[in-house]
Amino acid sequence: MSDIVSQIATLRAQIEEYNYQYYVLNDPSVPDAEYDRAMRELIGLENEHPDLITPDSPTQKVGGEALSAFEQVAHEVPMLSLDNVFDDEGFLAFTKRLQDRLGTSDVSFCCEPKLDGLAVSILYENGVLVRAATRGDGQTGENITANVRTITSVPLKLRGEGIPVRLEVRGEVFMPKAGFEQLNKRAAQLGEKQFANPRNAAAGSLRQLDSKITAKRPLAFYAYSTGVIEGDNQPPESHYQGLMRLKSWGLPVSTEVKVMTTESDVVAYYKDILARRAELPYEIDGVVLKVDSLVQQQTLGFVSRAPRWATAFKFPAEEELTLLEDVEFQV
C-alpha cells in the first residue's frame, strides 16, 4: 500500500510540474501524449483506491493558475475542462454511462472539432463586448480584454435579434496553421525564439501585457458554448441551437459542427475529421462530443473538473500517428 501512496504522490508532483510549465510558462516540458499517459495512470490508481483521492489532486482540478501580472476575473459560472476518451471502447463506455444515468438510449450528440488553442470567456452586455478572460484555474482567470479586442473574428458589437442583456460567450482562441508558419518564419529571420506549436503561439500571444503585440499576431476565434446568460427571451433547447444563435449574432462557429443521433454516426464523424486533420487550416487534437439536449445536460450535471455530458474523443498523438502510418506503408 505504501508503494501505491508513493506512486500516486510521484505522479501528482510530476503532473503539477507539467501543468506549471504548460499553463503558466507556456513552455511545455513533455509532449501531450506523455502528459496524457501520466494522467491516465494517476486516474487508474485513484479509481482503484478512491480513499486516496484528495481535492488538490490534478485529477480534480482545472488548468493552471492565473498570472498576477493581469487583473483577475472571477468566473460567474466555472470554466471546466473535459474528460477524455482515446478509442471506440472508451467512447462506448462513455455513452453507456450516459444512457444508464438518463434511463434512455435516445441521446444525440453535438460533435465539434477540438481546437488546439486557449479557452476564453467573452462577456457582452447589451450586445457590446465589455470583458474577456482566460480560463485560468476554472474559477479565476486573467483579464485579457484589450488583447481579445484585437482579434479580427471577435465582434466588438453583436448584431441581430433577441440578444440577451448579458451574454457570456465561450470559445477557443487559436492560431491558424498558415499564420503560425509565417510567424515562426519571421522569428527565424530575425533570430528570435520560435514557438513550439500553434497552441503555444496562441497562448503566448494572448497573454501579452502589450496588446499592440497581440494585434500583430494572426489569432482567430470560434465560439463553442456560453456561460452566464441574463435577459434571454427565447432560450434554446439544444446545444446546437444555442451555437446557431451565436452564429446569427455574428460570432464565428466552426462549420464542422454537426449533430449525430447514433453512436456509429459519431464514430464516423470522428473518423472523417481524423482523415481530414492535415487539410484543416487549424490544429485539432480530437473531437468534442456534447449531449445535445440541454434538459439531458442538466440531468447529467458535472463532476469536479468536467461536465458528465461531454467528452473529448482524442486523436492518436501525431508521433504515434507517424509510426502507425509507417507500419501501414510497409505492409
Binding residues for NAD(+): 32-36, 81-82, 112, 135, 172, 290, 314
Out of 172, 263, 283, 292, the residue judged to bind ligand NAD by CB under 6 A: 172
Query: In this complex, which beta carbon is closest to ligand NAD, that of residue 37 or of residue 212?
Result: 37
Size of the site for ligand NAD (CB under 6 A): 25
Q: Are the C-beta atoms of 165 and 231 separated by less than 8 Å?
A: yes
Grid cell locating 67 = 498570472
CA 317 to chain centre: 16
Q: Which of 115, 148, 201, 203 binds ligand NAD (CB under 6 A)?
A: 115
Closer residue to ligand NAD in complex, CB, 82/201: 82
In whole angstroms, the minimum distance from the beta carbon of 30 to ligand NAD comes to 5
The angle subtended at Cα 62 by Cα 25 and Cα 89, nearest 5°, is 115
Joined grid coordinates for residue 271: 473518423
Chain length of the chain: 331
Return the range that interacts with ligand NAD (CB under 6 A); candidates 17-25, 175-183, 203-211, 269-277. Answer: 17-25
Which residues are documented as binding site? 32-36, 81-82, 112, 135, 172, 290, 314
Q: 141 forms bridges with which residues in the sheet?
A: 73
- Determine if 16 is a binding residue for ligand NAD (CB under 6 A): no
Of 127 and 277, which has the nearer Cβ to ligand NAD?
277
Question: Using the 8-state DSSP alphabet, how is residue 309 labeled?
Answer: T
Pairwise CA distance, residues 57 & 74, whole Å = 22
3 state DSSP class of 88: helix
By rule CB under 6 A, what string of x and - marks binding of each residue 150-169 to ligand NAD?
Answer: --------------------
Binding mask 208-247 for ligand NAD (x = CB under 6 A): ----------------x-----------------------
CB of 138 to ligand NAD, least distance (A): 9
- The residues that bridge with 119 in the sheet, in sequence order, are 172
Residue 215 phi/psi, 5° resolution? -60, -25
Nine-digit cell string for 258? 454537426
Q: What is the C-alpha separation between 174 and 169, in angstroms, rounded?
A: 16
Rounded distance between C-alpha atoms, residue 92 and residue 63, angstroms = 27
DSSP-derived secondary structure for 160-207: SS---SEEEEEEEEE--HHHHHHHHHHHHHTTPPPPSSHHHHHHHHHT
DSSP H or E segment with residue 14? helix 2-19
For residue 119, the minimal CB distance to ligand NAD (Å) is: 3
Cα separation of 98 and 131, whole Å?
35
Q: Of 120 and 129, which has the nearer Cβ to ligand NAD?
A: 120
Q: Which residue among the candidates 61, 96, 114, 193 is catalytic per the annotation? A: 114
The answer to whether 32 contacts ligand NAD (rule: CB under 6 A) is yes
Q: How many CB atoms lie within 10 A of CB 291?
A: 25
Q: Residue 247 catalytic?
A: no
119 touches ligand NAD (CB under 6 A)? yes
Q: Pick from 25, 64, 26, 17: which is nearest to 198 by CA?
A: 26
- Interface residue with ligand NAD, options 35, 70, 109, 195 (CB under 6 A): 35
Tell me: does residue 112 bind ligand NAD (CB under 6 A): yes
Contact range with ligand NAD by CB under 6 A, out of 2-10, 27-35, 142-150, 267-275 = 27-35
Nearest to ligand NAD of 183, 288 (CB atom): 288
Which stretches of the chain bind ligand NAD, using CB under 6 A? 18-19, 21-22, 28-32, 35-36, 62-63, 81-82, 84, 112, 114-115, 119, 135, 172, 224, 288, 312
Which residues have a catalytic role annotated? 114
